[in-house]
Each structure stands twice: as C-alpha cells, then as structure tokens.
C-alpha cells in the first residue's frame, strides 16, 4: 500500500462506498458529500483546517531543487505540513503534479490541492477579451468559448478558473472593463450564466471542466474616477439593481466559488464585509461554495484603515465569511491563535473548510487527485484545431461595425491598392489582450497576416507610428506614448497612392486590464495625428479600432467613413478582421458599453435616471441637466452596431395592454432584412417604469434575440413580459413588481424609438 492510499484510507473507504451507491448521479448539485466531509473534519487538527483556507501563489520550480531559504522555503514547509489548501498560477501538468504529489503523499492527511488560474479568455488558445465577446450578444458562442478555455486549461492540470468577472462598470477609464460584459445588468447576467455553464459544464467531476469563480464581490467596477482599487461609494439602490444581479445569476447557474474584492463598500472593505459575504451571498442566496479573497486583499485592510495589523485583518475576514486567503498569509499565521483566544469560532472554521472540501469532492479530486495531470493529454489538447476554429468563430461574432458610410465596407476583393497603416496592424501580441498568462507573445494572427488570404488586391504596409514605447508590462511606460512622428511621411505617401486605406489604431494589448486606468480615452500617442495626416491626403479610410475599452473617437466619427470595432480578438484576430473587411462574414456585434464623446461625460450609460430636469421644452433654457460644452448623448449608444445589410422593425403589437399578478403579456413585431445580403440582428427589448417607489432608469434592457435573416426575409419576433421582467429592488428593500404604467421599446439599439405602453395592475 503506498503512502497516498494509507493516508486517505478512511476517506477513500467512505468515498468508494459513496460512489458505489451513487454511481448514477451526474449532476454535482445532487451529490452529497457532507458525511464524508464530516469524517475528514474529525480527522483534522485545527492547524490543518486553517491550512485548507490558505492559498499560495506558485512559488518555485516544483520540478527543480527544493527551496532552502526565503519565502519559497517557508511556503514549501507549509505545503509539506498540510498548511496549504490551494495554489494559483502553477503552469503545466509537470508542475501541478509535483505540487499535488507533495500535498497527497507527504502531508499527514493527503488532502489534494485546488489549482486556480486566471483563465479569463482562454489558456493558450486565446479567445476575444470578455468585453468583445459580450459584444456578440451570442450566449451560445460565449458558452462555447468558455468550454474551450476550460477544456484546454484542464488539460494542463488546472481545476479552477478565477472567472467570470461579472462586475458591471460604467466607466471606460477603468482598465478592467475589458474583463467584464459591460454596463448592463441584464446582458451581464445572461453572459455571466453562459460563462459559468461553459466553464463548469453539467458535471464538475468531468476532467474537461473547471470550477468557475464569480468576481469581484462586490462593486469593484464602481471605483471612483475609474482609478483601479479606488474607493467605491454607491447607493443601496445601485448595489441591488445594477451590481448584484449578475452575481445572483451566477449563483442560480451553480457557480462553485466567489472572489471578494479590493474595494470598500459603505466604508467596509469587501474582504471584511459581513453584509456582502454572509448576509447576502451565503444566507440570502444560499450559496454553498466558498469565497476566496482577492490577491492580498485581507492584508490590504490594514492600508484601508480597517484593520490594525494582519492578525486583526484575519479576524475580520474570517468573521465576515471570507473562506480562503489568497496570498496574505493572514489565516495561516493567525487563525489558530484567534480560535484559541475565542475570537473566531472553530465552528466557523469548520464551515469554511467544509465549503472548500465540498468543491474538492465535486471536482473528483479525492477519487483521483491527479485526474487533471496527464502529460499526453496535455500535449494532445493544447492548441487543438477545433479550439482555433472556435476562437475564430467567436472573434468574428465579437466585431462591431460602428459606421459605414457609402458602403465603403466590405472591400472589393480584386484590383484594389490598399495601404495598411498603424503599428497594431503588424502586432501579433496586442490582439491577445490582457489576462492571457498561459499564452505566448507573438502568437496571434496579425491583421496583415489575415489580409494575405485575399491576394486579389495589392497591400502596402506602413507603420506610421508606435502605439506605446516598449512593452508596457508592469512599468511606468504604460503612461508614456511615443512622440516619434518620423514614420508619418512614408505612411502619408502610401495612403496617397492607395484606393483605400485601412488604419489599424487603438491600444496596446496591455494598455487595459488590471491597474491600467486611463484619464485620456483618445487614441494613445500620436495615432490621432497620424489619422488626421493620412486623412488629409486620402479620406477613403477604414478605421479598424483595436482596444480594450470604449474610446473617445469623436473626430473619427465625424470624418472617417467606415469604423470597425475589433477590440482585442485573441489568437485568430487577423483572420476574423480580414473576413469581416472583405464581407466573408457579415458583422452583427452590438456595443455592450456606451462610447462617450469625451472623458468629461464619463460615467455615461444608457440606463440613466431622468432627473428632475431632463431635456426642457424651451431649448434656450440653461437650468437643466446638461453640459454647456458637450452633448449629453453618447457617441455610440449601448446596443449600437451595424451590418452589411439593413433591418426594419414594424407592426409592433401587444396581445393585451395590461396584466396582473402571475399574468403575462406578449409583445410581437416584424423584423425584416431590407438589404441585399443575409445577416444577423440583435433585436432588443427595453422597458421604462414610469412611476415607482424609487426612481427608475429611462430604459432598461429586458430581453434580446439574435435573429438570422436572409436578404429580404421577415420574421415575427415575440418577447414575454411578466412580473419578473418588471421587478426591481424597491423602497421596501426587496425585489418586487409595482403596479403602474410602463413604456416598452423595441429596436436595434438602446436609442430605438419604436414604442408602446402597457399596465401592470
Ligand atoms: C485580481 C484577480 C485575480 C487575482 C489572481 C488579482 O490581482 O484582482 O481578479 O484573479 O489577482 O491572479
């Protein structure tokens, strides 16, 4: 009998009896591991329990020599003593196996480790950044993309992803908007569920799935002034009506873990926040997975001025229901003492450990701790052709056609001279975006490479200018953009001689993401000047935007005939862009986030409140809610996106003008493809609650459908409206539908004007 089986003998006996009895059970929800967890808890010392609540970053080359001194040596000793429950950022089966072996074979109880990683939009084969995927409004495609990410990552030994990020944000200055689904709670909730289902599948013990993690709980996306990690100060109303719905949706979809956040809420850092973690998430929503802290967020409560020292921080985090400590070492250092001092109840520790062990059981780690560790499978899985096909499909679906005057797009395939300008056209790294730590630099298909598939035209490339100096990884260089304009003359010359100019401009792949807040949302560096210089000699420009957040491109909107938003589309980026430029794929993306005209408008979002002084009847009035130097309206509204065909909405009707409790009404309309090519349109339903116990937004998305229509085809589309559709967090501090009058809007963006009204009695 080897060490592994002797250590976990009891657990295994229980486990096999259990699995014989329950073989037929597939759904993880139905599995009941509680009696086994009871047995393990009985075997554990207090130190070992606290160990399960401790997570360390991958700290040394596990397959190399054992660390002798420093942090790594301490962590290694902790690992051997069973004082580590999970590790993050460990790459590849070899490393994972080596660490798992220590946990399973060298610790007293042999409890397997969880291996977490930020598989945010792919592991090695990278799909579009999450904000881009959200622009597809295609829930099936988004789910599939998460499935691909999980299958590839799980083959490298991982069993847990720190995704999806479901933070709603209305502030494009915040670099992490690239990681979420945009500004809307309804769209955000649908996408959050799709991502959880994609990562986790129906059965967590399946070795192609990962446990998902809804983050960052909560309100992290509302950092003041869009500055990452900054103070959050929002109302209860916003918390419940805007921020919490996507989190609740992940619980409904069965997400197994949550991550708390760096920010404070109501003066209390999320990691020490009882209201969020215990009252809302665990008690009200009955979430039975576990909560991991964000990186070092427990220790950061000291800087927040909420904890005196790390011991105090551990006390506050534990009592607030934060189950696992990521990289603060607060629990491992102080929790045993805190229990002995009767400041933390051992029963609370048991509860946290129970939650963590539950997920380990559900993942099947007690049956086989090495189930994700198969080097042959790893080699055969990474970069599979079907993954590349999948991320290409997702990339095409994520592109948004913002403007297309005189049908400049799609480009003709033959006989054209095309000048391609911009450093990002030749960039094989930026399309991977932020959060792609499993992927290698220079592995994305560039725009220039994608265009090579269309040899009927002549392509001349000129960089013109850089986006940013050097690789702005973790340095101040993120803020420094080149002022070098020496490439302008060649770019201008190339444009002069071309029929069409394709300018690929935007942000470097690491100019958005964590810690990458910006105060200027224009094209970085001298790219705007480059655009204007080229425009002066040839206005026939297709602007291909590559960026991780909405940008302020008002000049381009006024002057450039065609603008294509391509975000950061991942490994297959260049192919997706080329296929859309040439019309082999008809774009159907819609913005998941409002594009402001200028930074002064931020935060700007479509579901704003009317205020007491909305647009006045007398236009000369000054005393209404507006700017004297800018429009109130955005440059491009939420839900906006064009196609190579056109669509019309008509014959809007309701089967009844009112409904009562437990009732419903159906709204129907004709959607017609009025152009000459087949296309897809996202039909959107918005409502407005005219009077309520708390003020309600002027419009709220309440349904959408991605509809495929052949050229000339008409389809009748319907949405059902019931109490759930109109419910909100009311003055009674609960979700309810209030009687009254409602407006309803149907169309292809949040600015649609086709409307009717109904009543809820
Ligand atoms: C981020 C998290 C991430 C964690 C681990 C933190 O800085 O806020 O979203 O999961 O690091 O990489």
In ligand 1, the atom with minimum distance to the C-alpha of 215 is 9
Which of 58, 162, 325, 516 for a ligand 1 pocket mutation test, highest count of atoms within 8 Å of Cβ? 162
Q: How many angstroms separate the alpha carbon of residue 435 from the centre of ligand 1? A: 10
The whole-number average pLDDT for the span 706-734 is: 98
Over 60: is that where the pLDDT of 9 sits?
Answer: no
* pLDDT bracket for residue 62 (50, 70, 90): confident
Return the higher-pLDDT residue of 189 and 23.
189
Gap from CA of 292 to ligand 1 centroid (Å): 11
Query: What is the rounded CA–CA span in Å between residue 5 and residue 719?
Result: 56
DSSP string, 715-754: EEEEEEEEHHHH-EE-TTSSEE---EEEEEEEESSTT--E
**Residue-level pLDDT at 471:** 46
Contacts of 449 (CB under 8 A, 6+ apart): 428, 574, 575
Q: What is the mean pLDDT of residues 490-498?
A: 98
Phi, psi angle pair for 437, to nearest 5° = -70, -15
pLDDT at 24: 39
Distance 158 CA to ligand 1 centre (A): 16
**Beta bridge mates, 418:** 459, 500
Residues 6+ apart with CB under 8 A from 513: 175, 176, 178, 179, 433, 434, 435, 548
* Cβ within 8 Å of residue 558, ≥6 positions away: none
User: Token pair for residue 358?
Assistant: 């539950």
Could you identify the atom of ligand 1 that is nearest to the CA of residue 179? 9
Give residue 10's pLDDT: 47
What average pLDDT does the chain have? 94
Q: How far is the centre of ligand 1, averaged over its atoms, from the C-alpha of 530 (Å)?
A: 36
**366 vs 475, which has greater pLDDT?**
366
User: Per residue in 73-100, pLDDT tens?
Assistant: 999 999 999 999 999 999 999 999 999 9
Q: Does the beta carbon of 294 lie inside 6 Å of ligand 1?
A: yes
**pLDDT at residue 5, as a whole number:** 42
pLDDT in tens, 151-180: 999 999 999 999 999 999 999 999 999 999
Cα 275 from Cα 284, distance rounded (Å) = 10
Are 543 and 564 spatial neighbours (Cβ–Cβ below 8 Å)? Answer: yes
| Pocket of ligand 1 contains residue 215 by CB under 6 Å | yes
Closest atom, ligand 1, to C-alpha of 213? 10
- Rounded to 10°, the helix 139-154/185-200 angle is 40
Neighbours of 347 (CB within 10 A): 8
Query: CA-CA distance, 151 to 123, in Å (whole number)?
Result: 9
With 70 as the cut, is the pLDDT of residue 181 above it? yes
The Cα–Cα gap between 322 and 305 comes to: 18
Ligand 1: distance of its center to the CA of 547 in Å?
21
User: Is 591 in contact with 602 (CB distance < 8 Å)?
Assistant: no
* Number of helices (H), then strands (E), in the chain: 24, 26
Nearest to 359 by CA among 468, 255, 469, 498: 255
Query: Ligand 1, residues 161, 294, 438: which to mutate, most atoms within 8 A of Cβ?
Result: 294
Where are the strands (E) in 530-660, listed by range?
Answer: 541-546, 562-565, 647-654, 658-659
For residue 118 and ligand 1, the question of a CB distance below 6 A is answered with: yes
- In degrees and rounded to multiples of 5, residue 406 shows phi and psi of 50, 30
Q: Is 294 a catalytic residue?
A: yes
Measuring CA to CA, which residue among 579, 576, 556 is closest to residue 568?
576
Residue nearest to atom 4 of ligand 1 (CA): 295
Ligand 1 atom nearest to CA at 261:
8
Which residue's CA is the closest to the ligand 1 atom numbered 5?
Answer: 295
Element (H, E) at 395: helix 385-398
Pairing mode of beta strands 458-462, 500-506: unpaired
Please report how many Cα atoms fall inside a 13 Å half-sphere around the Cα of residue 156, on the Cβ side: 24
pLDDT higher at 20 or 665 = 665
Q: Kindly report the protein residue whose alpha carbon is nearest to atom 11 of ligand 1.
A: 295
Atom of ligand 1 nearest to the CA of 89: 12
Confidence of residue 213 (pLDDT cuts 50, 70, 90): very high
Closest-CA residue, ligand 1 atom 2, reads 294
- Whether 142 and 188 have beta carbons less than 8 Å apart is answered as no
469: pLDDT strictly greater than 70: no
Going from the C-alpha of 580 to that of each of 403, 404, 640, the distances in angstroms are 14, 13, 17
Beta-bridge partners for 648: 672
Q: Quick one: pLDDT band at residue 188, thresholds 50, 70, 90?
A: very high
- At 462, is the secondary structure helix, strand, or coil? strand
**E strands in 177-320:** 213-217, 257-260, 264-265, 268-269, 290-292
pLDDT band at 7 (very low <50, low <70, confident <90, very high): low
State how far Cα 119 lies from the chain centre.
11
User: Measured in angstroms, how far is the CA atom of residue 320 from the centroid of ligand 1?
Assistant: 20
Pocket test for ligand 1, best of 56, 121, 271, 295 (most atoms within 8 A of CB): 295
- Considering only CA atoms, which of 196, 67, 98 is closest in space to residue 139? 196
| Among 46-55, 347-356, 461-470, the least confident range | 461-470
The catalytic residue among 294, 312, 427, 689 is 294
Instruction: Pick the atom of ligand 1 nearest to 216's CA.
Output: 9
| Among the listed residues 262, 158, 223, 181, the one whose alpha carbon sits nearest the alpha carbon of residue 592 | 181
Radius of gyration in angstroms for the set of CA atoms belonging to the chain, rounded to a whole number: 27
Torsion angles phi and psi, residue 709, rounded to 5 = -135, 130
Residue indicated by tokens 């101040």: 476
Q: Whose CA is nearest to atom 6 of ligand 1?
A: 295
Cα gap 222→234, rounded to integer Å: 8
Q: Which of 91, 116, 118, 297 to mutate to test the pocket of ligand 1 (most atoms within 8 A of CB)?
A: 118
Model pLDDT, residue 646? 98
Q: What is the pTM of this model?
A: 0.96
Which residue in 365, 359, 281 sits closest to 322, CA to CA?
Answer: 281
Using most ligand atoms within 8 A of CB, pick from 514, 515, 516 the residue to mutate for ligand 1.
514
Residue 21 pLDDT: 38
Nearest to 55 by CA among 77, 85, 95: 85
Predicted confidence band at 2 (pLDDT cuts at 50, 70, 90)?
very low
Q: How many whole angstroms from 294 Cα to the centroid of ligand 1?
A: 6
Q: Ligand 1 centroid to 141 CA: how many Å?
A: 25
Per the CB < 8 A criterion, the answer to whether 369 and 104 are in contact is: yes
> Counting Cβ atoms within 10 Å, is residue 161 exposed (0-12), middle (13-18) or buried (19+)?
buried
Is any ligand 1 atom within 6 A of the Cβ of residue 162?
Answer: yes
331 Cβ closer than 6 Å to some ligand 1 atom: no
Angle at 511 between CA 526 and CA 386, to 5 degrees: 120
Q: Cβ-count burial of 8 within 10 angstroms (0-12 exposed, 13-18 middle, 19+ buried)?
A: buried
For tokens 């401009």, the residue is: 505
What gap in Å lies between CA 687 and CA 673, rounded to an integer?
A: 24
Ligand 1 atom 7: the closest Cα is on which residue? 295
What's the pLDDT tens digit per position in 400-438? 999 999 999 999 999 999 999 999 999 999 999 999 989
């Amino acid at each position: 009998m080897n060490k592994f089986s002797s250590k976990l003998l009891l657990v295994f006996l229980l486990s096999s009896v259990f699995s014989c009895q329950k073989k037929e059970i597939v759904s993880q929800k139905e599995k009941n591991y509680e009696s086994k967890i009871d047995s393990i808890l009985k075997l554990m010392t207090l130190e070992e329990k606290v160990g399960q609540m401790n997570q360390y970053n991958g700290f040394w080359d596990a397959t190399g020599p054992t660390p002798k001194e420093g942090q790594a040596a301490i962590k290694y000793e902790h690992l051997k003593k069973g004082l580590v429950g999970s590790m993050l950022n460990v790459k590849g089966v070899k490393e994972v196996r080596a660490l798992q072996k220590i946990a399973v074979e060298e610790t007293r109880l042999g409890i397997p480790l969880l291996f977490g990683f930020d598989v945010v939009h792919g592991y090695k084969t990278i799909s579009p950044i999450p904000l881009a995927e959200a622009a597809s409004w295609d829930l099936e495609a988004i789910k599939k993309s998460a499935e691909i990410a999980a299958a590839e990552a799980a083959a490298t030994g991982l069993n847990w992803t720190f995704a999806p990020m479901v933070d709603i944000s209305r502030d494009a200055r915040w670099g992490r908007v690239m990681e979420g689904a945009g500004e809307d709670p309804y769209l955000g909730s649908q996408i959050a569920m799709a991502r959880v289902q994609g990562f986790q599948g129906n059965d967590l013990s399946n070795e192609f799935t990962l446990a998902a993690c809804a983050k960052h709980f909560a309100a992290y996306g509302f950092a003041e002034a869009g500055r990452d990690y900054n103070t959050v100060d929002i109302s209860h109303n916003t918390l419940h009506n805007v921020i919490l719905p996507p989190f609740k949706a992940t619980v409904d979809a069965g997400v197994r873990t949550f991550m708390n956040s760096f920010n404070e809420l109501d003066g209390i850092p999320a990691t020490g926040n009882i209201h969020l973690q215990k009252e809302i998430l665990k008690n009200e929503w009955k979430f039975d997975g576990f909560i991991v802290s964000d990186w070092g967020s427990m220790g950061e409560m000291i800087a927040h001025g909420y904890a005196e020292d790390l011991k105090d921080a551990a006390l506050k985090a534990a009592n607030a229901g934060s189950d696992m400590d990521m990289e603060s070492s607060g629990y491992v250092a102080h929790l045993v003492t805190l229990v002995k001092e009767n400041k933390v109840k051992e029963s609370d520790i048991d509860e946290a450990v129970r939650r963590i062990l539950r997920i380990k059981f559900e993942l099947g780690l007690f049956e086989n701790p090495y189930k994700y560790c198969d080097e042959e499978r790893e080699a055969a899985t990474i970069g599979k052709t079907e993954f590349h096909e999948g991320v290409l499909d997702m990339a095409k679906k994520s592109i948004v056609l913002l403007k297309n005057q005189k049908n400049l797009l799609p480009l003709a395939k033959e006989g054209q001279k095309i000048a391609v300008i911009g450093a990002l056209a030749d960039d094989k790294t930026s399309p991977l975006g932020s959060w792609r730590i499993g992927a290698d630099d220079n592995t994305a298909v560039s725009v220039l490479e994608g265009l090579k598939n269309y040899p009927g035209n002549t392509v001349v490339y000129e960089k013109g200018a850089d986006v940013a100096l050097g690789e702005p990884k973790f340095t101040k260089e993120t803020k420094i953009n080149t002022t070098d304009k020496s490439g302008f003359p060649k770019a201008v010359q190339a444009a002069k001689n071309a029929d069409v100019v394709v300018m690929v401009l935007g942000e470097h792949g690491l100019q958005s993401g964590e810690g990458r807040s910006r105060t200027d949302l224009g094209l970085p560096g001298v790219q705007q000047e480059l655009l204007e210089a080229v425009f002066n000699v040839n206005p026939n420009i297709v602007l291909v935007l590559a960026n991780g957040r909405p940008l302020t491109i008002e000049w381009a909107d006024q002057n450039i005939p065609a603008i294509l938003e391509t975000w950061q589309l991942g490994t297959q980026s260049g192919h997706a862009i080329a296929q859309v430029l040439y019309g082999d794929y008809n774009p159907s993306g819609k913005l998941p986030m409002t594009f402001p005209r200028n930074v002064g408008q931020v935060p700007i979002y479509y579901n704003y409140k009317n205020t007491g002084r909305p647009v006045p009847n007398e236009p000369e009035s000054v005393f209404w809610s507006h700017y004297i130097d800018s429009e109130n309206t955005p440059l491009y509204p939420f839900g906006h996106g064009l196609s190579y065909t056109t669509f019309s909405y008509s014959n809007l009707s309701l089967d009844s003008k009112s409904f009562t409790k437990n009732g419903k009404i159906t709204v129907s309309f004709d959607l017609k493809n009025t152009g000459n090519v087949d296309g897809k349109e996202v039909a959107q339903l918005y409502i407005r609650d005219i009077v309520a116990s708390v003020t309600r937004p002027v419009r709220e998305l309440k349904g959408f459908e991605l509809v495929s229509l052949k050229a000339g085809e008409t389809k009748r589309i319907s949405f059902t409206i019931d109490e759930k559709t109109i419910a909100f967090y009311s003055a009674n501090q609960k979700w309810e539908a209030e009687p009254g009058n409602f407006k309803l809007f149907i169309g292809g963006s949040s600015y649609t004007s086709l409307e009717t009204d109904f009543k809820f009695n």
